[in-house]
Each structure stands twice: as structure tokens, then as C-alpha cells.
Amino acid sequence: MADAAEPADLPGGVASRPAGQPSGALPRRLVLLGPPNAGKGTQAQMLCRTLAVPGISTGDMLRLESGSGSELGARLKTIMDRGELVDDATMADVVRERLRRDDTERGFLLDGYPRTLGQAETLASILEAAGKQLDAVLAITVPADELERRALARGRSDDRPEVIRERLKVYRDKTEPLIGYYRGLGLLREFDGDRPIEDVGRDLLAALGVQRP
């Protein structure tokens, strides 16, 4: 999707919009999909800044709750420490609440949701009830051996080898089917994540019609 259809400059050479800003009516309701350690978090930050939409990381939201000392938090922590998935019903509540907030009116970038086909269907119905729909699903792909190498190098507390393996297995079993699901809906854009961060970021922006200065 090119920028070319947009009037790039106003007469007199004054840019019609700030450099690096997205143009026109471009995708704003986005899902970022990819295995653990694909670089999703970094790209999510960059995309949210550039597109001026809120990033919704369900992992961050769950981590916040799990540290709160609540009963729910304790239950979430056990699941997350094992690398397993929180159940779809709990996640539906979390995401439905978050998408009700006003800041999502201009769009959003979901990072870490949906992770199962059931969650994808729930998301579609949450949006449909609000008269909205997804604009695009951005999938970052990385070969399995490179993902394990990155995970071992990173050393987060939940990155014990057995947890790493569990998270990857869960991704393959539960989340990877979403790629075919969204491809079937014509929403999927795939990106090779086995490259420098900047290259992946540039391609993501290009796919969304954003040209960097």
C-alpha cells in the first residue's frame, strides 16, 4: 500500500502532514501476531508511536494484575509462570473492558491478543457489536531455532528452558492457526522477523502506507 495516492505536498512545498505521520484513512485497528521473542514488543511500541494509537498488550495487563496481590492476580501468575494461556473467558473480559475506553476510538494495536481461535472469534464479535472491524493482522514470523536462541539469551524470570519450550509449544498449537484464519479473511500481512529490527519496522510501516522521512 503506497503513499502515492495522497497529495504529498501542499502548494508552496509545505508538507501536508508532518514527516513520518501516516496519511489518509489508513488501517488503525490492528493485531500484531507472532511467537514469543519475535520482537513484537519493540515493533508494537514503534507502531503505536508512529500511528498515534494505543498499544494493548494483554501480557502487560495480566502482569500488572498478577502483581496486585489480588486473588485473581495469584491465579494469573501461576498460569503465566508455567507458560500456559489464561482461559478465553477471562481474556474476553479483559479485552472487552479495554476496548470500551475512549482512547481506542482512533484505533488500537493489540499485542498478544488474540492467541486462540476462540479469542479471535470473541474479538470479532466485540468489534462487531461496536460497529467496527479489524483493518489488518500483522504477523511476524521467526524460525523456531532462532526463537529459542533469543529466549535463552534474554533471561527473563519466566524464561526457564522448560517454560520457553512450553510457550513455543502453546504458540504452535493454539496461536499459529490464527495465521490461516486471518489469511482466509484477507486480513493477514506477513513479515520475516529474522532480520534487524529496523528492517522489520520499515516493512511494517510500508505495509501500513506510512513512509518515513
Amino acid at 192: D
Among 28, 29, 98, 115, binds ligand AMP (CB under 6 A): 115
Does 91 interact with ligand AMP (rule: CB under 6 A)?
yes
Does 163 interact with ligand AMP (rule: CB under 6 A)?
no
Does 208 interact with ligand AMP (rule: CB under 6 A)?
no
Residue 143 sits at φ, ψ, to 5 deg, of: -60, 150
Does 83 interact with ligand AMP (rule: CB under 6 A)?
yes
Does 85 interact with ligand AMP (rule: CB under 6 A)?
yes
Rounded Cα distance, 150 and 90, in Å: 30
Residue 33: CB partners within 8 Å, gap ≥ 6?
137, 138, 139, 140, 175, 178, 179, 182
Does 36 interact with ligand AMP (rule: CB under 6 A)?
yes
Q: How far is the CB of 103 from ligand AMP (least distance, A)?
A: 20
Give the interface segment with ligand AMP, choosing from 47-55, 58-66, 99-107, 191-199 (CB under 6 A): 58-66
Give the interface segment with ligand AMP, choosing from 46-54, 84-92, 140-148, 188-196 (CB under 6 A): 84-92
The two beta strands, 136-141 and 188-192, are parallel
Rounded Cα distance, 56 and 99, in Å: 9
Give the interface segment with ligand AMP, choosing from 75-83, 146-154, 185-193, 201-209 (CB under 6 A): 75-83
Residue 153: CB partners within 8 Å, gap ≥ 6?
none
Does 62 interact with ligand AMP (rule: CB under 6 A)?
yes
Rounded Cα distance, 42 and 47, in Å: 9
Does 29 interact with ligand AMP (rule: CB under 6 A)?
no
Q: How far is the CB of 158 from ligand AMP (least distance, A)?
A: 7
Amino acid at 135: D
